[in-house]
Amino acid sequence: MHKPGGDSWRAVVTGVAVALSLVMAAAPAHASVFLEDQTWTELRDRIAGGATTIIVPIGGTEQSGPAMALGKHNVRVKFLAEKIAERLGNALVAPVIAYVPEGTIDPPTQHMRFPGTITVSDKLFEQLLESAARSFKLHGFTTIVLIGDHGGYQADESHVADRLNAEWKKTPVRVFAALDYYRLAQAPYTRKLLAAGARESEIGTHAGLADTSLMLAVDPSMVRQERLSAPPKLGAADGVYGGDPARSSAEFGQLGIDLIVDGTVDAIRGFVAKQPK
């Protein structure tokens, strides 16, 4: 016996199911802001649709004391680059550059005195950034943003941007060395920490409270929290410089994350706004 409305109800249900399957098929990886999650055709279409800014996150593989993993900079810069790209709305994020200048090998200097740190020369590093930028220009990106999580190569970022902008001045493509990303994690972040109750003697320049708190807010699995306050107290011989990470917290770190993301987004927008139309 035929039930009134049965066929039309089944048609509606079938239509909804088909629509949902199409949405699910269209949604997955290409909605990500990470370039390496795209297929080449998805990337082509994203660029054609206006995603013409590419953020190049630069990290580094180096010691950060006994309480923080060697990949600190790489994990942190990828996390923050994603936040920045999402806020911009028209940006994608390139793969993290994890091999950066970290001192000399013979004799070992800077962080190279600790196992696990990897270094390359400034010349090689600049060539890498330059080649990456040329690749992005070829594929249609018009704003190439360099953000570096480590202080040792900030000048290299500027050198590359200046050279390529001089070479490309008759094109619409520009390279922006977003040095505010790193600058904001220094004195401005320190002021936020002091206002929140941190002591100046704790903050440090490397692997102290400021550095460790940022990592706790990004990915606590990278921090050996049981080692932060356990004796003996961490110091320069351990690779912890000028501070004490014992009272580090994700709450302190979030202050830095908000500052860095907000400030870098503003800096990128300001750079783009100054470019000729």
pLDDT, one tens digit for every residue, the chain (277 residues): 444 455 555 554 455 444 444 434 444 456 899 999 999 999 999 999 999 999 999 999 999 999 999 999 999 999 999 999 999 999 999 999 999 999 999 999 999 999 999 999 999 999 999 999 999 999 999 999 999 999 999 999 999 999 999 999 999 999 999 999 999 999 999 999 999 999 999 999 999 999 999 999 999 999 999 999 999 999 999 999 999 999 999 999 999 999 999 999 999 999 999 998 7
Residue 5: inside a domain, yes or no? Answer: no
pLDDT value for 56: 98
Nearest-10 Cα torsion for 133, 137, 142, 143? -10
Question: What's the chain look like in SS3?
Answer: CCCCCHHHHHHHHHHHHHHHHHHHHHCCHHHCCEHHHCCHHHHHHHHHCCCCEEEEEECCCCCCCCCECCCHHHHHHHHHHHHHHHHHCCEEECCCECCECCCCECCECHHHHCCCCCECCHHHHHHHHHHHHHHHHHCCCCEEEEEECCHHHHHHHHHHHHHHHHHCCCCCCEEEECCHHHHCCCHHHHHHHHHCCCCHHHHEEECCHHHHHHHHHHCHHHECHHHHCCCCCCCHHHCCEEECHHHCCHHHHHHHHHHHHHHHHHHHHHHHHCCCC
Q: Which residues pair with 56 in a beta bridge?
A: 146
Residue matched to tokens 């249900």: 13
Is residue 22 in a domain? no
Given this model, what pLDDT does residue 28 score? 47
Structural domain contains residue 25: no
In-domain check, residue 220 = yes
Instruction: Enter the pTM of the model.
Output: 0.88
φ and ψ at residue 242, rounded to 5 degrees: 70, 20
Q: Which pLDDT score, from 0 to 100, does residue 277 have?
A: 75
Q: How far apart are the first and last CA of the chain?
A: 69
163 exposed, middle or buried (CB, 10 Å; 0-12, 13-18, 19+)? middle
Instruction: Confirm whether 131 is domain-assigned.
Output: yes
The CA distances from residue 145 to 18, 56, 64, 118, 162, in Å, are 40, 6, 26, 24, 12
80 belongs to a structural domain = yes
Find out whether 67 and 230 touch, Cβ atoms under 8 Å: no
The answer to whether 35 and 93 have CB atoms below 8 angstroms apart is yes
Give the domain CATH number at 228: 3.40.50.10310
Does some domain include residue 211? yes
User: Which residues span the domain enclosing 234?
Assistant: 31-273
* pLDDT, position 237: 95
CA dihedral 272, 218, 78, 203 (to 10 degrees): 70
Contacts with 172 (C-beta within 8 Å, 6 or more apart), sequence order: 142, 275
Q: Give the whole-angstrom CA distance, residue 120 versus residue 42.
A: 33
Asked if residue 183 is part of any domain, the answer here is: yes
* Count of domains observed in the chain: 1
Distance, in Å, from the CA atom of 75 to the CA atom of 79, rounded to the nearest integer, reads: 6
